[in-house]
Chains A and B, each alone.
Chain A
Amino acid sequence: MSNPDAGLAGLGVLAGLSAAHRDLVTRAAVAVRLGAGERLFREGTPAEGCWLIHGGCVALDLTVPGRGQVVIQTLGPGDVLGWSWLIPPYEWHFGAITTRETTAAKLDTGQLRRLASEDPQFGYALALTMFQACAQRLQATRARLLDLYRSPHDQY
């Protein structure tokens, strides 16, 4: 499982972890290279896996009748993809598909959950890491919710 080529050290999202904790994550990681248009997961399916994106672009999407697959968000280098594995019911809320060739470190989330339950200190540090990513995503989403570039004439 261990993959020294996953290159996690450069990922800002893990910067808050201690060296020992980062090492635990590194040992659960495997480097992946994904082609453009490759689906990582679908909405409503069991949530397994977490991707720390190195390069490329991944779209989070969902099906809206009449609108097809709607892309609600895109992720890129430095971003964390997937946190539904951390919380019940362990199901993907949105789908994910690469929009171009993408490189990432894929984490074995079963292993991480097990390590976290065995070592609550690691579990807390891991949860904080995920929460930080989540909070930043939420802040950006709230900023979008403001619809700041709206014209005063826009009725919609």
Chain B
Amino acid sequence: MTSTDAARAATAEPMLPVPYRVAGRAAETHDSVTLTLEPAATPLPPFQPGQFTMLAVPGIGEAAISVSGDPAARDGQLVQTIRAVGAVTQALCEAPPGRVIGVRGPFGTTWDLPSATGRDLVIVAGGVGLAPLRPVVLGALAARRSYRRVCLVAGARRPAEFLFRGELDAWSGRPDLEVELTIDQPAAGWDGQVGFVTEPLARLPIDPGRTIAFLCGPEPMIRFSAQVLLRRGVPAGDIRVSLERNMKCGVGLCGHCQLGPILVCRDGPVVAYPLAAPLLTIREL
């Protein structure tokens, strides 16, 4: 699709989904699934790491889901990781291969990985917050020489609740990627780290002037992690966070995703920490 076509599609009818067919379905955890979707008609424009789509199950509804696939893939497929937390996400998780899903997007801001060229990348993910950060890791590995150190700190409740577990294990074995996995709850058979993500993060050697940090997870986890980085001297402007709010449209029309002055779908989901920080501590904003 040319950029002209993309522009035309964007102005045509932003609420009209494009049909995609479930080509693959991989269970990640007891409640999370990664779907590989292939276009059943004209494909949508390629996505950038950090962006999301609106996935629709006709008759049930629509939900904002982060793209978790490889940003370099040009096969037209969309890879998205979904956690079953409501009716729509449950239906998406249960969608068998062949099922048609409606897709709109990709929407929102990106992690803007190229702007971190020449820097150390510190990627901090909590729970399913790893999904939108997977494209960052894949993007960094694909252009590994463009970056200095690449560190991934990922936290989960229990060992069985890590997304992309096989891939995480493979990444852990790479010499060019530092991977720190930690679990919140003590678990038998786990010989890795036990502690909140802030703990391995605080232990990482960090060169504050050369670091760009990417944080995604529950808001308190984002705040606590950012505080550790700030304490380590990383400038707030070099910390990027991904936010979440209720979304019905994804394109700035429905008003649901307001967070004070920003529309998370339009001005986010990825925002610089100085913008997010004052908003995240206001109760019921």
Interface positions of A (Cβ within 8 A of B): 57, 59, 67-68, 70-74, 76-79, 99, 136, 139-141, 143-144, 146-153
A143–B198 CB distance below 8 A:
yes
Question: Is residue B83 within 8 Å, beta carbon to beta carbon, of the partner chain?
Answer: yes
Q: A72 CA to B199 CA in the complex, in Å?
A: 13
What 8 A-B pairs are tightest by C-beta distance, nearest first? A149-B127, A148-B218, A140-B196, A143-B196, A74-B193, A144-B184, A70-B186, A149-B157
5 A-B interface contacts by CB (under 8 A): A72-B186, A74-B195, A76-B193, A136-B202, A149-B184
> Total interface residues on B, using CB and 8 Å?
34
B218–A149 CB distance below 8 A:
yes
Interface positions of B (Cβ within 8 A of A): 31, 83-86, 126-128, 155-157, 161, 182, 184-186, 188, 190-196, 198-200, 202-203, 217-218, 220-221, 224
Point out the residues of chain A lying under 8 angstroms from B127, CB to CB. 148-149
Distance in angstroms from B243 CB to nearest chain A CB is 15
Interface centre among A72, A76, A77 (most CB of B within 10 A): A76
A76–B200 CB distance below 8 A:
yes
A148–B221 CB distance below 8 A:
yes
Point out the residues of chain A lying under 8 angstroms from B194, CB to CB. 59, 71-74
Distance in angstroms from B232 CB to nearest chain A CB is 9
Point out the residues of chain B lying under 8 angstroms from A79, CB to CB. 199, 203
5 further interface pairs, Cβ-Cβ under 8 Å (given A143-B198, A147-B184): A67-B188, A74-B192, A148-B217, A149-B184, A151-B85
